[in-house]
Amino acid sequence: MIHALLQVLYFFLPAYLANMSPVLVRGTFDVLAVPIDGGRTLWGKRLLGDHKTWRGLLAGIVAGTLVFEIQRYVYEAQVARHLALIDYSAHPLLPGLLMGLGAGVGDAVKSFFKRRIDIEPGASWPVFDQLDFFLGAYLCVSPVYAPPLLLMLASLPVILLGNLVSNAVGYWLGFKETWI
Ligand code: CTP
Ligand code: MG
């Protein structure tokens, strides 16, 4: 069970790092730092808000693809193969791209709901803020490969905890606005 859990976490590493990437590219590619919703509103409230930018979404897609390609390289070098859930050589690029995209879309969909219930951009919405990217990445990559549902459920607490820790570290380093 622990081994299978580690395999799932390893599989979603591209999504995890894609989710962290938007804050790392702040201050670069300023031309892309425009809100995805273009300022549009629904019932007087912003669709997604100023914090969901094209720069962040693209950073996630690039990061997801890159991390997956590194995993493919590692797999082909016969390293850490016991962690692999899929045959990485048979799936170039696409799963990484889908996980990066899914992580960003999941995050943006969550922001859509945050705005509907009047949570300001940057203010925290515990649990949803931590799991949004994971669910998005899972749904997006599932046409290529979907880990068993039971394993997905079992990994939720680990993802939740891992994300709380990385967020706290990000806050401490000055990347994030809130500690949770
Ligand atoms: N970010 C971005 N574009 C995205 C996602 C994130 O530019 N598509 C950047 C923003 O600077 C954002 C930061 O990454 O403030 C942290 O992202 P996140 O915690 O997901 O957003 P929040 O600031 O909490 O905004 P929201 O309330 O809409 O979730
Ligand atoms: Mg947040």
Residues 6+ apart with CB under 8 A from 131: 156, 159, 160, 163
Q: How many whole angstroms from 55 Cα to the centroid of ligand 2?
A: 16
pTM comes to: 0.96
Q: 3-class SS at 45?
A: strand
**Are 137 and 110 in contact, with CB atoms under 8 Å apart?**
no
Compute, in angstroms, the gap from residue 6 CA to the centroid of ligand 1. Answer: 27
Q: Helix count (H) and strand count (E) of the chain? A: 6, 2
| CA separation for the pair 67, 10 (Å, rounded) | 11
CA angle 35–51–61, rounded 5-degree value: 75
Ligand closest to CA 48? 1
Summarize pLDDT for 5-50 with one digit per residue, the tens.
Answer: 999 999 999 999 999 999 999 999 999 999 999 999 999 999 999 9
Q: pLDDT tens-digit profile of 156-179?
A: 999 999 999 999 999 999 988 888
Task: State the residue for tokens 């990559």.
Answer: 141
Residue 1 pLDDT level (bands cut at 50, 70, 90): confident
State the average pLDDT for the chain: 96
16, 32, 51, best to mutate for ligand 1 pocket (most atoms within 8 Å of CB): 51
Task: Please report the atom of ligand 1 found closest to the CA of residue 36.
Answer: 8
Residues 19, 144: Cα–Cα separation, whole Å: 20
Which residue CA neighbors atom 16 of ligand 1 most closely? Answer: 23
Determine if ligand 1 sits within 6 Å of the CB of residue 136. Answer: no
Assess whether the C-beta atom of 115 lies below 6 angstroms from ligand 1.
no
Which are the contacts of 178, defined by CB distance < 8 A and separation ≥ 6? 122, 123, 124, 167, 171
Res 161: pLDDT: 96
49 Cβ inside 6 Å of ligand 1? yes
- Summarize pLDDT for 136-163 with one digit per residue, the tens: 999 999 999 999 999 999 999 999 999 9
Longest dimension (CA), the chain: 55
Nearest partner of 99 among 174, 11, 40, judged by Cα: 11
The string of DSSP letters for 118-133 reads: TPPTTS--TTHHHHHH
- How does residue 84 score in pLDDT terms, banded at 50, 70 and 90? very high
Nearest CA to 121 out of 134, 136, 103, 107 is that of 107
Compute how many other C-beta atoms are within 10 angstroms of the C-beta atom of residue 39.
Answer: 10
Tell me which ligand sits closest to the C-alpha of residue 119.
1
Q: Whose CA is nearest to atom 22 of ligand 1?
A: 122
Q: What is the pLDDT of residue 21?
A: 97
Nearest ligand, CA of residue 20?
1
The CA 51 to ligand 1 mean position distance, Å, reads 4
Distance from the alpha carbon of residue 75 to the mean position of ligand 1, in angstroms? 32
